[in-house]
Structures are given as C-alpha cells and as structure tokens.
Amino acid sequence: MQQRQARETGICPIREELYAQCFDELIRQVTINCAERGLLLLRVRDEIRMTIAAYQTLYESSIAFGMRKALMAEQKKAEMEATVREGLVAAWCAVAGW
C-alpha cells in the first residue's frame, strides 16, 4: 500500500482496489479447495459491492439535494432583502410626505 501511496484512513480508491484484488485472490484459493465456500464468498463480495454502490448513490443524491436547498435559500434571502428595501423606501417616502 505504501508503494501505491494508498491512504490509511478515509475513502481511498487505491486501497479499495488493493483490497478487492486481495479478496478476489482469496475467493479463488478457497474455491479451489471447496466450491461451495467459494460461491458463498462470491455472494458476499457481490452483496458488499452493491451495498457500497447504494451508499455512494445516496451520498451523491444528498449532496445534490443540499445544493438545491442552499440555492433556494439564497434566492429567498435575496427576495426578502429586496422586499425589506422596498418597504423601507415606501415608509421613508410616507414620512417625508412624498
């Protein structure tokens, strides 16, 4: 892992690939000795890959949702500031008698 400069913590595609290769080799070796155990490990590997993919999709979706909400809040803030300014100008004109 040091040769490939994989990070020890956090999300690291290099580390993920190295572990995947290691697990695939482990599955290969187990399958040679016992086909049923090898098939079970294949199912475990596929299940965890699907779970990780689902979490990645959920994360990306939540980021997009957060960005949309932030943009909407910024637009509302600008609208409210414009409304307040208009109200202040109207009040000042009324006081001034214009």
- Supply the pTM of this predicted model: 0.65
Predicted confidence band of residue 5 (pLDDT cuts 50, 70, 90): confident
pLDDT tens for each residue of 8-62: 777 788 888 889 999 999 999 999 999 999 999 999 999 999 999 999 999 999 9
Q: Which two three-digit tokens encode residue 61?
A: 């979706």
**Predicted pLDDT of residue 15:** 83
CA distance 43 to 29: 15
CA distance 69 to 84: 22
- With beta carbons less than 8 A apart as the criterion, state whether 37 and 26 touch: no
**Predicted pLDDT of residue 94:** 82
